[in-house]
Chain A
Amino acid sequence: ETGVTQSPTHLIKTRGQQVTLRCSSQSGHNTVSWYQQALGQGPQFIFQYYREEENGRGNFPPRFSGLQFPNYSSELNVNALELDDSALYLCASSLASAETQYFGPGTRLLVL
């Protein structure tokens, strides 16, 4: 196992609601990246946090936001949920921002 954990494992929300997903990085890793994986697609990069600062962002709207805490765990927040936000949300941790990334088991979000 990678040592990366995510919670919750599954979540059901309705359109317009807000959601917070959590990720604990592998011990010693200071970088967390978040990805969205729609059914049948590869993961898409949302953003990365390095030492508590956002360190790069993909093509996602501002209603996708995040945080990284001093212990390097991280949160992904999504506001005003849309049906298309239904996906597997993956976080990955790495020792430094450019090193190999190790994925957690993901949170499966369903928006109704």
Chain B
Amino acid sequence: RKEVEQDPGPFNVPEGATVAFNCTYSNSASQSFFWYRQDCRKEPKLLMSVYSSGNEDGRFTAQLNRASQYISLLIRDSKLSDSATYLCVVNCNAGGTSYGKLTFGQGTILTVHP
């Protein structure tokens, strides 16, 4: 089983649509959670951190359910510029060591069309 699993998509949605991405992780010791965005042939860029209380940044809402080991990202009122790959990322400071290893999902491809 992969440590972080995402539906790879692709998701093809019209402008203005609401789209949701889901992600599950297997390591219950995971401590930090993120969504990164990656444009074609570019590096991943931090979109937002994810907290148990849920957090919102404009049109983007992220949720974490530690009991179910489940992370979600909701994008409202999709724009053409939202087209990208969305990576679910988990940071686990394993075994009491100090380092943070980012574990990425495969990524979910989103295409927003006119």
Which A residues form the contact surface with B (CB < 8 A)?
Answer: 2, 33, 35, 40-45, 48, 50, 55-56, 58, 90, 92, 94, 97-106
Contacts and interface: CB of A to CB of B under 8 A. Distances in A.
Given A90-B43, A103-B44, A98 B91 contact: yes
A42 B98 contact: no
A98 B107 CA distance: 22
A10 B32 CA distance: 32
A55 B99 contact: yes
Interface residues of B, number: 25
B104 A98 contact: no
Interface of B: 4, 31-32, 34, 42-46, 49, 87, 91, 93-94, 97-107
Given A2-B45, A35-B104, A55-B98, 17 more contacts: A41-B107, A42-B87, A42-B105, A42-B106, A43-B44, A43-B104, A45-B102, A55-B97, A56-B94, A58-B101, A90-B43, A92-B102, A98-B31, A100-B46, A101-B100, A104-B43, A105-B43
